Amino acid sequence: MSRRSFIKKTTVLTGGLLLHNSMMKAFALDADHRINLGVIGCGDRGKGIMQILKELPTKFNIVAICDVLDFRLKETEKVLPAGSVQSVKQYKDHHQLLDDKNVEAVIIAVPLNLHFNLAKDALEAGKQVYLEKTMTYNIPQAASLINIAGNYPKQVLQIGHQYRYTPLYYKVKEMIEKGYLGKVTQIDCRWDRNWDWRRPVPDPSLERKINWRMYKEFSGGLPAELLSHQIDFINWAFNTHPTTIVGTGGIDFYKDGRETYDNVQAVLRYGKEGMIGNFGATCANAREGYIFKLKGNKGTVSLLVNEGVFYPEAQTRKELQTVDGVTGATKITWNKDGGMPILTEPTKDGTYYAMVDFHKSIVQKQSPASNVMTGARTAVCVHLANEAIYTNTVQQWKPEYNF
């Protein structure tokens, strides 16, 4: 199904085009509509989302949880809202949760190889769906899920690429569109850590279920779990996709039986825009941590997850003079490095804003900012990046990827 056909068949993509203030105003109109929610997958991410949902108690009501591991269900009881443990149903089979008529919507936070099947099952069960990123394990699944979602136009399928909801990244997208950066040619991204990425395993037989990120059968590795966020933002901010992808990587530090690489680098060429994107991650050095820089001939944006600074080039700095067009302040505030903060107010975790949009999309019957079409585009990018990294080949974007 083409993107145009999908949009015609489903709702208009207006929800994702709203700026943060407008989004919050619209959300306030629906404050009395509480959605009964089931959570499938109670690992770190599933429990993390449930912690965020405590900040939205009048919007969501967790009524069911599901995980194949008993100890995960037991751990999850500790993060449920106070006094709700007895009323929350527990399942080990996701089909049983989906059969629960009291569940209106589901959050799916399971290993990547299960994303497609669980999203398909949830849509067919009539549920509203929030599916964690990356949307699917491979390209064929992405194409198939587009067609399946098109059969359920009254249901939301939101993908967990959080940058499409946060005030900071909305602002950066606006800056790009208004030309503050000028012509962007270079994108530098890193997401580094000094950690083996493993979870404790109470029984050796559970190794692959708990540490699924280590094994190719279940995981897309560092590109899927970390770099997909930044890749997705570039797709969104520039309304684009890469034309050529090359990459390399290896198990260069942790010789512990893992299959997915602990050290990767991918270069994405955006031929139409004349941009090069460098996306890398290592598990053996945390000095730089998270880096996201967009470099244009008028200025550079340097981003952390929740903070950002604009560094104008010399001529742009002169043109700004005493009025800051970026933040709207009447007087520019420069930091010690010669940059100006993009936002002056602290923001919440990106998951908070994603849950706000999930609620709004359900109530107002709108397609979310991160939907099956945008999720498919990023899933293709991740798949191609992994192909390039693991096979040492040059990957090209093909016309059939323009869903």
Check pLDDT > 50 for residue 24.
no
Average pLDDT over residues 272-292: 97
Q: What does CATH list as the number for 3-164+350-372? A: 3.40.50.720
Confidence at 22, pLDDT banded by 50, 70, 90: very low
Q: pLDDT for 247-262, tens place per residue? A: 999 999 999 999 999 9
pTM score above 0.75: yes
CB contact at 8 A, 35 and 362: yes
Distances (CA, A) of 365 to 15, 106, 213, 276: 9, 16, 34, 37
* pLDDT score of 334: 80
Q: pLDDT for 85-110, tens place per residue? A: 999 999 999 999 999 999 999 999 99
Same fold, 3-164+350-372 and 168-345+384-391: no
Angle at 368 between CA 228 and CA 386, to 5 degrees: 20
The residue ranges of every structural domain in the chain are: 3-164+350-372, 168-345+384-391
Average pLDDT over residues 151-180: 96
Q: pLDDT for 308-323, tens place per residue? A: 999 999 888 887 764 5
The Cα 299–Cα 181 span in angstroms is 5
Average pLDDT over residues 115-133: 98
The Cα 39–Cα 314 span in angstroms is 50
Query: Three-state DSSP class for 191?
Result: strand
The Cα 114–Cα 264 span in angstroms is 24
Confidence at 23, pLDDT banded by 50, 70, 90: very low
Average pLDDT over residues 320-348: 76
In the sheet that holds 299-303, the strands lie side by side as 340-341, 308-312, 299-303, 290-296, 184-191, 275-282, 263-270, 244-250, 395-396
pLDDT, averaged across the chain: 91
Give the rounded percent of residues in the chain with a pLDDT score beyond 90.
83
* pLDDT score of 12: 26
Helices vs strands, H then E, count in the chain = 14, 15
Contacts of 111 (CB under 8 A, 6+ apart): 212, 213, 218, 219
CATH topology of domain 168-345+384-391: Dihydrodipicolinate Reductase; domain 2 (3.30.360)
